Amino acid sequence: MTFTSVSTPTHTIVHTATHLADVILGSIADILGTLGIDATQVFADWDRDNRAISEWIKEGSLNIVALECHQPNGVVAPIFEFPVSYTGTGEGDRKFTADRAALARYLAKLQRVPSGTVYKMFCSYNGLHSSQQGWGPATRASVAGMRSYSFGTLAAGPHASTGLRYFTK
C-alpha cells in the first residue's frame, strides 16, 4: 500500500549547521585558491574542521570564522570574516540558500597575495562553547585601521545565516 504525506518537512538545526559549515569551509577553500595560497592543510583537516564548525553552529556558540592571510613580510592582510547570525526557532518557510555565483564574482576582484603567504583560521564565540579536536586558544590579528567591505549574506538556513566581510590594508 502506498501512503502519501502532505505534512511540511521539518528541517532541524543540524541541517542548517551542515549547510553553513560546508559553505564557510568551501568558500575558504575557494578564497585560498583565488589568492594562490597553498590550501593543502585545509583539505587535510577538512573533516575535523567541518565537524567543529558544524557543532558550534548547532550549539549556537559560533560567532565568527576568520581567515587571515599572513604575508612573508609580516603583514596580515587580507582578512576574511564569516559572521554567523542566529535567526530563531527555524519555523516558517525559510530556505537553504548559498550565493555562490555572487561569491565567484566577488573573488574575481581579489588581488593575489605575495608568494609564500600562508593562512590561519580562527573562530570566535558567543560565550561558552564545546571543545573540538584540533582547536585551541589563539589570538587573532586586529582589523583596526583596515578597510572593510561587506559581501552581505553568503548563505542561509532556517535557523542561521552567514555573511562575508573582507578587510584589507
Partner 1 sequence: MERTRLIAAAPVRSASEAWQVLTTLLSDTLERSSSIPTGSVAAALANLKGLGPALIAGGHLESKGIVLVDEGLHLTIRVLTADAALDVEENLNPVPGGASATDGWTIYFPPAGPLDKTLRSAVKSSPHLSTAEPPASAPAQKSERTSKSLIDVDALRGLGN
Taking CB under 8 A as the criterion, the residue among 56, 64, 107, 132 binding partner 1 is: 107
**Could you tell me the smallest distance in angstroms from the CB atom of residue 69 to partner 1?**
14
Stretch that binds partner 1, among 28-36, 55-63, 74-82, 136-144 (CB under 8 A): 28-36
Please count the CA atoms within 13 angstroms of the CA of 139 that sit on its side-chain side. 2
Cα–Cα distance, 92 to 157 (Å, whole number): 11
State the CB neighbour count (10 A cutoff) for residue 135.
17
- Burial zone of 4 (CB within 10 Å; 0-12 exposed, 13-18 middle, 19+ buried): exposed
Q: Please tell me whether residue 11 binds partner 1 under the rule CB under 8 A.
A: yes
Give the residue, chosen from 19, 58, 129, 165, that forms a contact with partner 1 under the rule CB under 8 A.
19
Of residues 35 through 94, those in contact with partner 1 by CB under 8 A are 39, 42-47, 50, 54
CA 134 – CA 117 distance, rounded (Å): 22
Find residue 156's DSSP bridge partners.
97, 161
Residue 133: CB minimum distance to partner 1, A: 15
Residues that bind partner 1 (CB under 8 A): 9, 11, 15-16, 18-19, 21-23, 25-27, 29-34, 39, 42-47, 50, 54, 95-98, 100, 104, 107, 155, 157
